[in-house]
Structure 1
Amino acid sequence: MLKQAADVLKNASRAVVMTGAGCSVEAGIPDFRSPSGWWRQIDPRTVATTEALEHRYELFHAFYAARIEQLREVRPHNGHSILSKWEHQGRLQLIATQNVDGLHQAAGNRNVQELHGSIRHFRCASCGRPGAEQAFLDRAPCTCGGRLRPDVVLFGEQLPEEAWHASLAAIRAADVVLVIGTSLQVYPVNQLPFLTDGTLILLNAEETGEDHRFDLVLHGRAAQLLQAMDEQ
């Protein structure tokens, strides 16, 4: 099946990749959805919310400050580099990612749509004015007096419209969609892969409830599977 997947990608002219947390875990970033990824025994789904931003800012700030500090030591893995190579070879048209860590861009990909925003950028929660990372870490207020926040999509917020529409258009036009490292549990992004008429390929560490909807399924570590596909 690996060779079959590699052949499909080799013959593709409009390939699109969609990545989730599993693609970043191998670079050393915990999966905050797994029990082992919980931060201080707190479910991030109760911290990464509009309610926490407004009413529990100290906890909200501590959570994101810890994530930002952790990212200082993280580098893209070989799988990220392979996706970058495929883009530069003209095989890969776009990456639609649920990850907020910027590792695809750090590896050299240019056409990346961040469906859940970016933890590398900051803005005022009150007026929307851009802010700096260090100002956020220092808990410095915006010039309007508002609190700074990472430019990520919190639970309770809408996805960025531009990223959504660009990803949707690319997936609808794709002849192959390669989905990497996602449990396909988060709505509405989990619907995107199934809006293509192209070949659907899933690379994931474990089974999802949607495996049966894919044309090809490979279970294993993202970096290793991408390396094997690239060699094929």
Structure 2
Amino acid sequence: MGLTDREKYQDKIKRLAGLVRSSGKVYALTGAGCSTESGLPDFRSPGTGLWEKVDPLKYSTSEVLYNDPESFYKFGFPRFKDLTAAQPNAGHFAMAELEQLGFIKGLITQNIDGLHFKAGSKRIWEVHGHLRTSSCTGCGARRSFQLLIDKLDSGEVPPRCSCRSVLRPDIVLFGDSMSSSYFEAERALQAGCDLLLAAGTSLTVYPVAGLPRFAKQLAIINLQPTPYDREAAILINQKFSAAMVDLVRELKR
């Protein structure tokens, strides 16, 4: 009699734990699929993906921000503001515990929601930025993200710095150059990565989708197919939280 789906899944978790234990330098790469269990939509899931509902190229671009900041803040910005109320799920806490236990050297995330930060992960490369700070497009002064929110709530659209230039969230918009955090993460992987654990990411958005090429081995935890599935040493089609909690439990045995 063959193995049940549950038994096959448990076997994959055990093999992944063994791979993590035997690999010297392990890094994690995460995407929007990690945050769906925190109530945030991902980008590409059929029927629920954010980009099926909102055209990101219409309002959430650097071109709109600089040329029509009022439209950016009225129509593009609200979806970013909504992210700030989300809380980490069990998978985020499990990922932080992996770092605390010494199993991963660092975490690269494409997410701007800050949930890995809230969950306690320490060495994080937030390659698309975060929603903890904002910056002036004129003088470059760094402000809190909350100040930006407060200005919008008071009716100041677009929100402006004391120098009267427009404030912007410290995230990478369509049309922006990649952040310095991305290049730091790339250098870390180039310096040595025995295993890259990609979780909750479609691995289709470049340049981040090119990072697996720096890893000796790749493990994937994702509900949807990715272009790297055939190359993965281990592929687990499971929800982020369940797989991460089970992985930590297995590693602690």
Change (3 A) 1:52 1:15: same
Deviations 1:98-152 (A, max 9, x none): 0011111111111000111112210112222112323322233111111111100
The equivalent of 2:3 in structure 1 is none
> In structure 2, what is the Cα distance between the partners aligned to 1:96 and 1:189?
9
* Contact 2:88–2:119 (CA under 8 A) maintained in structure 1: yes
* Contact 1:205–1:221 (CA under 8 A) maintained in structure 2: yes
1:190-229 maps to which residues of 2 (within 5 A)? 190-197=209-216, 199-229=217-247
> In structure 2, what is the Cα distance between the partners aligned to 1:170 and 1:38?
31
Amino acid at match of 2:169: P
> In structure 2, what is the Cα distance between the partners aligned to 1:4 and 1:152?
36
**Percent identity, aligned pairs only?**
32
> In structure 1, what is the Cα distance between the partners aligned to 2:66 and 2:182?
26
Which of 77, 102, 107 is residue 64 of structure 1 equivalent to? 77
**TM-score normalised over the length of structure 1:** 0.91
* Contact 2:132–2:144 (CA under 8 A) maintained in structure 1: no
1:12-91 maps to which residues of 2 (within 5 A)? 12-34=23-45, 36-38=48-50, 41-62=53-74, 63-72=76-85, 74-91=86-103
Q: Which moved more, 1:78-87 or 1:165-174?
A: 165-174
**TM-score normalised over the length of structure 2:** 0.83
* Contact 2:219–2:235 (CA under 8 A) maintained in structure 1: yes
> In structure 2, what is the Cα distance between the partners aligned to 1:18 and 1:42?
25
Amino acid at match of 2:221: L
- How far apart are residue 77 of structure 1 and its match? 0.6
The equivalent of 1:95 in structure 2 is 107
Q: Which moved more, 1:61-70 or 1:222-231?
A: 61-70
**Aligned partner of residue 167 in structure 1, secondary structure:** helix
**Aligned partner of residue 177 in structure 2, secondary structure:** coil
Structure 1 stretches (4+) deviating beyond 6 angstroms? none
> In structure 2, what is the Cα distance between the partners aligned to 1:109 and 1:31?
21
* Contact 1:5–1:229 (CA under 8 A) maintained in structure 2: yes
> In structure 2, what is the Cα distance between the partners aligned to 1:61 and 1:40?
20
Q: Which moved more, 1:209-218 or 1:26-35?
A: 26-35
Q: Number of residues paired by the alignment? A: 229
Name the Cα RMSD after superposition.
1.9
Q: Which moved more, 1:100-109 or 1:130-139?
A: 130-139
> In structure 2, what is the Cα distance between the partners aligned to 1:67 and 1:39?
13
